[in-house]
Structures are given as structure tokens and as C-alpha cells.
Amino acid sequence: MNDGLLDGFRHNNWATARLLDVCRGLTRTDLDSVQIGAYGTIYETLWHIVSSDASYCARLTGREGAWDRRARVIPPVDTLLEYNEDLGRRWEEFLAAPFNAERTFVVPWDTGPDRDVPAGVILARALHHANEHRAQVASMLTSLGVEPPNLGVWEWSEVSNRSRQRTA
């Protein structure tokens, strides 16, 4: 039933993993780089991507992961990679069963009263949010002279064999 969503979340998880993998090789000075218009430093933004993804997943599943998504101390990049793997499994588990996309969740709103938000909107938000911040990190990497990975859906579909070269 949720097969179409699996591709989006598998791409999301893959793209975050690729970005984290590139950032593993950065120095702490590089990780602490910041750029106008970005969320924060590279390191803060990576944590924000992973911890926010965990928040969306927890909201929809009603279950927290085994690690603290609210931790004040940012874990090492290798640990963020482990957390991202965990999130991939948790999203797969969630999407393996039917869910009500119209089920609403109370979401605190930055600009006013809380809102009732459907599950489908939270799913869309999870994918959009990660893409937005990965693009910020990619821009910061470029400013450091580091080639960012190509995180496109076409690239994911090729490496995951979701798109296959025609033979005839």
C-alpha cells in the first residue's frame, strides 16, 4: 500500500548517509564552518537533519528510537551514520504497514496556535526538510573546496537498481 513512499524514504536515507560519509573526512574546523543562509554549522546541520528525521518518525510511529534525538551534545559523525541507519530501518518498518494519511497530530506552530496536521503532510515535511538542509551542507562543502556528493534521485535510482538500463 505504501510502496510509492518507500522510494522517497529510501532515497532520503541514502542521501543523508552519503553526505555524512563525505563529512566523516572533514576536520573539526571544517565541521564548524558556517555560511549565511544555512541552519548553522555543518556539524549542527547534520545533527539537525538526523534528529529532526527521528522526530518525524517518532511522531508518526508513536515510538522513540534507542538513542536520544534531543541530546544537547552532538554525537560524532560516525554515530550520526549509525543513527541514520537506524532511521532507515524504522521508516521501512513504518511504511510496511498501512497507515491513515489523514490521521492528525498536534504540532506546535512557530507563528501561533498549535495545528492539527495530517500524517501525509508530516511525511512530506520529513522529505522536504532533509533535502533543504542537505543542500545547505552541500553548499558549505563547496565553499570549503570539498566536492559534495551528487544526492539526486536519479543517482539513487541507478545505484539502488530502481532504474535499469534498457537492453532492447
In whole angstroms, how far apart are CA 87 and each of 9, 53, 63, 64, 161? 10, 8, 12, 10, 21
Q: CA-to-CA distance for 99 and 140, rounded, in angstroms?
A: 37
3-state SS assignment for residue 128: helix
pLDDT exceeds cutoff 60 at 1: no
The predicted pLDDT at position 3 comes to: 76
Q: CA-to-CA distance for 144 and 17, rounded, in angstroms?
A: 20
**Is 35 within 8 Å of 5 (Cβ atoms)?**
no
The predicted pLDDT at position 54 comes to: 98
Q: CA-to-CA distance for 54 and 86, rounded, in angstroms?
A: 9
Q: CA-to-CA distance for 75 and 47, rounded, in angstroms?
A: 8
pTM given for the model: 0.94
Joined together, the cell numbers standing for residue 131 give 533535502
Domain ranges of the chain: 3-159
What is the pLDDT averaged over residues 139-156? Answer: 96
Span 56-110, pLDDT tens digits = 999 999 999 999 999 999 999 999 999 999 999 999 999 999 999 999 999 999 9
User: Which of 91, 84, 95 shows the shortest CA–CA distance to 15?
Assistant: 84
User: Which of 143, 144, 107 shows the shortest CA–CA distance to 122?
Assistant: 107
In whole angstroms, how far apart are CA 3 and each of 19, 93, 94, 145, 150? 25, 12, 11, 38, 24
The predicted pLDDT at position 2 comes to: 67
CATH code for the part of the protein at 3-159: 1.20.120.450
pLDDT exceeds cutoff 60 at 156: yes
